[in-house]
Amino acid sequence: MKNNFTVSAAPHLHNKESTAKIMWAVVLSLVPSGIAGVWIFGRGALWVIILGVAAAVITEGVLQLLTKRKLTIFDGSAILTGLLLAYNLPPKVPFWLPIIGSFFAIAIGKQVFGGLGQNIFNPALVGRVFLVASWPKYMTTFTQALNYDALTSATPLAALREGKILENISYLDLFLGKRGGCIGEVCILALLLGAIFLLIRGYISWHIPVTYIATVGIFTYIFGAKALFSGDWLFHILSGGLILGAFFMATDYVTSPLTYKGQIIFAIGCGVLTAVIRLWGGYPEGVSYAILMMNAATPIIDRHTKHRIYGTK
C-alpha cells in the first residue's frame, strides 16, 4: 500500500512557499543592483551578466539530461548562481570568462555533489575563486566608474593596500557606487533595496548579515589603522563586496547553519576572516574566501548548535 500520510512532529505549517518562489524572489531582489552596475560601467557589464546566467542555465540543463535526473532549470537556482557569479566579476572581462566561471560553478560547485541542497560550498563563490586563481590578470583589472572609455583604475581596497591616500572618494560615492569594483557590488543603495525586500518578506533573517557587517566594522575599527581603535570602519563596510556577500551569499540556505545561534557564530567567523584577509592577507578583498571557509565549517557548527529535542538531555 502506498503511504499517503506524512507523520511529523508539531507544529504543522502549510503555505504557498516553494524553493522556486524563494529563488525567483532573490533573483528579483538582485535586479536593482544589476541595473545600477550596468549604468555605472556601461553596456559591457550587461553582456557579462547575460552570458553568466545563460551559461549557468545551459550547464545545469545539459548535465541533468546527461545524468538522467529531473530537469530543474526553471526553479531559479541556476539563474541565481549565474547572476551572483556575474555580479562578482569586473565589468571588462573577456566574453569567455563568465561562461567558464558559470560552467565551473554549476558543474563542480553544485552538480558534482548531487545538485541543489547537496552542495557544501556556495556555487557562485566556487566559480569566482576558480576564476581568480586561474586568470588573475582579468579578475583584478577594474575600470573607472561612469567612464565608458575603459580606463583602468584600482578598487578603493586595492588602493588602500598599496598605501595610496583616498582623498577623492567620499562615503557618499562609495554608497552610491561611484568607484571601481565588480559589477554587482558597487551600488550599496541598490543592494540595500533588494535586501530590505528580502527581509520584509522573511526570505532571509537579519542574523547573518547584521552580525557579519558589524563584526567587520568592529574588527577594522580596532585594528584598521596603526593605532588601535582608530580604523576607518565605515570605509571597510562600504567598500569591496561586503554588502553583496553578507546579504546575498552568506545567507544561502544550503551552505549556512540552520539555527540562529549557529548563524551568528557563522557570521562572526565570516567577519573576522574578511577583516583579517583585508588587513593582513595577500589579497585586497577577502569576502569570498571568508564565506567559503565558513561554508566548510557549517556542518560542525550545525552539530554543536542543535536544538535540544524535548525529552532528551
Query: Using CB under 8 A as the criterion, which residues of the chain lie in contact with other proteins when the complex forms?
Result: 100, 108, 112, 130, 133-136
Centroid of chain to Cα 82? 11
Whichever of 130 and 235 has its CB closer to other proteins, that residue is 130
Q: How far is the CB of 135 from other proteins (least distance, A)?
A: 7
Helices (H) and strands (E) in the chain, counts: 14, 2
Whichever of 94 and 117 has its CB closer to other proteins, that residue is 94
Q: How far is the CB of 83 from other proteins (least distance, A)?
A: 23
Q: How far is the CB of 285 from other proteins (least distance, A)?
A: 18
For cell 504557498, the residue is 16
Whichever of 106 and 244 has its CB closer to other proteins, that residue is 106
Q: How far is the CB of 129 from other proteins (least distance, A)?
A: 9
Q: What is the DSSP string of 101-151?
A: HHHHHHHTTTGGGTSTTT-SS-HHHHHHHHHHHH-HHHHT-EE-TT-TT--
Query: 83 with 49: CB under 8 angstroms?
Result: yes
Q: Calculate the alpha carbon distances from 259 to 64, 223, 253, 262, 302 in Å.
A: 32, 30, 11, 5, 7
Whichever of 108 and 293 has its CB closer to other proteins, that residue is 108
Whichever of 104 and 233 has its CB closer to other proteins, that residue is 104
Q: Give the three cell numbers for residue 11.
A: 507544529
The Cα 296–Cα 256 span in angstroms is 9
Whichever of 129 and 290 has its CB closer to other proteins, that residue is 129
Centroid of chain to Cα 93? 19
Q: How far is the CB of 133 from other proteins (least distance, A)?
A: 4
Whichever of 32 and 281 has its CB closer to other proteins, that residue is 281
Q: Calculate the alpha carbon distances from 183 to 83, 213, 306 in Å.
A: 10, 20, 38
Q: How far is the CB of 283 from other proteins (least distance, A)?
A: 15
The Cα 307–Cα 261 span in angstroms is 10
Whichever of 120 and 210 has its CB closer to other proteins, that residue is 120
Q: How far is the CB of 111 from other proteins (least distance, A)?
A: 12
Which element (helix H / strand E) includes 57?
helix 43-66
Half-sphere exposure of 279 (CA within 13 A, CB side): 21
**CA nearest neighbour of 127 among 155, 94, 99:** 99
Whichever of 94 and 299 has its CB closer to other proteins, that residue is 94
Query: 240 with 62: CB under 8 angstroms?
Result: no
Q: Give the three cell numbers for residue 33.
A: 543592483
Q: How far is the CB of 62 from other proteins (least distance, A)?
A: 16
Q: How far is the CB of 236 from other proteins (least distance, A)?
A: 28
The rounded radius of gyration (Å) of the Cα atoms in the chain is 20
